[in-house]
Amino acid sequence: MSNNIFERLQSGEVVAFSDPQYEQVGKSGIRTTELLIKYNATSDPDQLRAMWGDLTGTPLDPTSYVQIPVFINHAEFVSVGKNVYINHACTMLALGKIYIEDNVLIGPKVNLTSEGHPIDPENRRALEVKPVVIKRNAWIGAGATIMAGVTVGENSIVAAGAVVNKDVPANTIVGGIPAKFIKKID
């Protein structure tokens, strides 16, 4: 067993809120919140890109833009590629890691949630995480929610308001709650 709670979570371990290391999760969240307050109060694109590097540990490529406000609980686990546009009010629950590849478009009020809780009521006060992966050239429509463990395939489209709880194959349009296949993209 790893001593690092983040490694334990990302390796698939379910971690109870009562875990002795859980305070590290809280400290990480506070750090991100403090930086996000400054980020969301800034309008200069160059300053935003520089501040993104402070948030995530990796500078934002000059071809990418993350519109304010953005809401993230653990920014160090977010990776954003080149030529990405993330519209305003995107929420990222990122302990399970969020990977956004090149040329992705994310609409306003999208939720990327790499975190969840066990179904069993006796163990529900625990955290389990799985990564969210948005592949190259994907487009996530306004108000969509991508759940933990989901990969949205290359060139795919998630319709506005969809709730995606299963992987989306490449070159596919999905929509609805839960999201279902609509059509292939030629």
- Known catalytic residues are 117
DSSP state letters, 21-67: THHHHHHHHHHHHHHHHHHTT---HHHHHHHHHHHHSSPPPTT-EEP
Q: How many residues are listed for the chain in this entry?
A: 186
Burial 15-24 (b: 16+ CB within 10 A, else e): beeebeeeee
Q: What is the distance between the alpha carbons of residues 15 and 23, in angstroms, rounded to a whole number?
A: 12
